[in-house]
Amino acid sequence: MENQKKEIIICLGSSCFARGNKAAVKIVSEFLKEHNLQNDVKFHGERCFGKCADGPMLKLGEKFYENTDPESIVRILEDYIGNQ
Ligand code: FES
């Protein structure tokens, strides 16, 4: 199988966006830049994941992460990137 690109999807629905994902976009972008991963990881936003009550939501690969905050995002990213 072809080497699959890692994917990070951030919920840009209004609830998640207002509750932290506005800042999270920057955190993830900076993280990818710092680790020189812009070409290896596909990072993009999507509309509401339909789980606003559990937001801010982030999706890495097939896995959803709920109630994220700046600290947990960095941990989640490190885990995800480390588990290549
Ligand atoms: S706005 Fe993110 S789950 Fe609804």
Could you tell me if the CB of 49 is within 6 A of ligand 1?
yes
What's the whole-model pTM score? 0.91
The answer to whether position 1 is within a domain reads no
Q: What is the pLDDT of residues 32-83, one digit of tens each?
A: 999 999 999 999 999 999 999 999 999 999 999 999 999 999 999 999 987 5
Which pLDDT score, from 0 to 100, does residue 12 have? 98
When divided into structural domains, the chain yields a total of 1
| Alpha-carbon distances, residue 26 vs 1, 22, 43 (angstroms) | 32, 7, 11
> β-strand 63-65 against 58-60: which pairing, if any?
antiparallel
Evaluate if residue 1 carries a pLDDT over 60: no
Q: What is the CATH number of the domain that holds 42?
A: 3.40.30.10
CA distance 56 to 69: 8
Domain range holding 22? 6-82
Q: What is the pLDDT of residues 18-31, one digit of tens each?
A: 999 999 999 999 99
Could you tell me if the CB of 27 is within 6 A of ligand 1?
no
Rounded distance from Cα 17 to ligand 1 centre (Å): 8
